[in-house]
Chain A
Amino acid sequence: MLRLQIIPHSEVANLTSESKISKVLRIAKNNRIILLEGRLSPEEETLLIERTMSNIDRRFKGIEICSIGDSETRDLVKRIKRGLAQFLLGVGASGMTIIGPASIIKEIKRDPDKIELLTKNVK
């Protein structure tokens, strides 16, 4: 059974990066796929990778992550920068981020125009 947890922007807007990342990781370690409204900043993304790495053990193998933004630009870095600017200005969130445990998500395939989430056979 796949379990999906949606986190609206309002639920993380006032959190520090550290607690936002802990929250996301806690859910992923609980075998759920997270749909986070908005995107993480580049700093938060690297923090998430660092924390993920130190959490890997017999049961938890890491995560798959993919952030998607506005469709008018294929330019990934521009998207990130815009996301960051919106974050700093506090004008809410655009785009969204999918994060899931690697034990469930085999791969998130992203092309400029579409996203495919490939899951493993979950017992």
Chain B
Amino acid sequence: MGFFDYLKSILKIFQIKKTVRLGLYGPVNAGKSSLANKISLDWLGEEMSEVSKIPHETREIKVKEKVKIRSSGKELDFNLIDTPGIATKVDYEDFLKYKLSKSEAKKRAKEATQGVIEAIKWLENVDCVLVVLDATENPYDQVNVTIIGNLAARNIPVLIVANKIDLKSANIKRIESAFPQYNVVGVSALKGTNIENFYKELFRTVR
């Protein structure tokens, strides 16, 4: 390797270090896009993803580049990567109850399956991950275990976000006891509850 190649590779390392590629992963409907929107709105003044109560709203990776976040007296650049929710099954008939036509539902299902595959492929392209879980749901779900286990095997730092704490049945404790060696921070992406604390935990996780 010549001197300039060497120099280039060093520069490359610095470039990668400069911007944190932050992936938002999790099961369908947990609020990944809502949280991505909240972060993007807080620091760029604009939202980045579509949100819907219909599952599999995000079916393609959405990236928002150069999001400068300040917290705890530090400043970091992030690329926010909103991913399609991960599922082990997709049935177009589940979409019919949301008043989608049969052909719309089938199209959505097809795109959803491709979205899941894309989300998994993108695990290669992230430096840090927010695993977004719906705190009203049972955390002992295989999809959660698979995502977190996979990130652990890749040594990617993880912050678990227990979302929807504005809802009565939200249970952060249950998530903490399912994943005891992870930091868990409760938020409401919808209402913005505890978001300052979330940024603090994010910076601790990135380090």
Q: Interface segment, B45-53, B70-78, B111-119, B184-192?
A: B111-119
B125 CB to closest chain A CB (Å) equals 15
A80 and B145 within 8 A (CB): yes
- Pick from A52, A62, A65: contact of B142, CB below 8 A: A65
A49 CB within 8 Å of chain B? yes
Cα-based distance from A55 to B180 in the complex (angstroms): 35
B13 CB to closest chain A CB (Å) equals 26
B149 and A80 within 8 A (CB): yes
B143 CB to closest chain A CB (Å) equals 8
B110 CB to closest chain A CB (Å) equals 8
For residue B88, which residues in chain A have a CB less than 8 angstroms away from its CB? Answer: 49, 52, 62-65, 102
Nearest A residue to B151 via CB reads: A42
Closest 7 CB pairs of A and B: A62-B89, A42-B149, A102-B89, A53-B113, A80-B149, A42-B150, A45-B146
Chain A residues 10-69 with CB under 8 Å of chain B are: 41-43, 45-46, 49-50, 52-54, 56, 61-67
B83 CB to closest chain A CB (Å) equals 13
Cα-based distance from A65 to B88 in the complex (angstroms): 8
Nearest B residue to A81 via CB reads: B152
For residue A109, which residues in chain B have a CB less than 8 angstroms away from its CB? Answer: 138
Contact A112:B91 (CB < 8 A) given known A42-B152, A53-B117: no
Cα-based distance from A52 to B112 in the complex (angstroms): 12
For residue B116, which residues in chain A have a CB less than 8 angstroms away from its CB? Answer: 49-50, 53
A41 and B89 within 8 A (CB): no
B7 CB to closest chain A CB (Å) equals 35
Chain B residues 94-114 with CB under 8 Å of chain A are: 109, 113-114
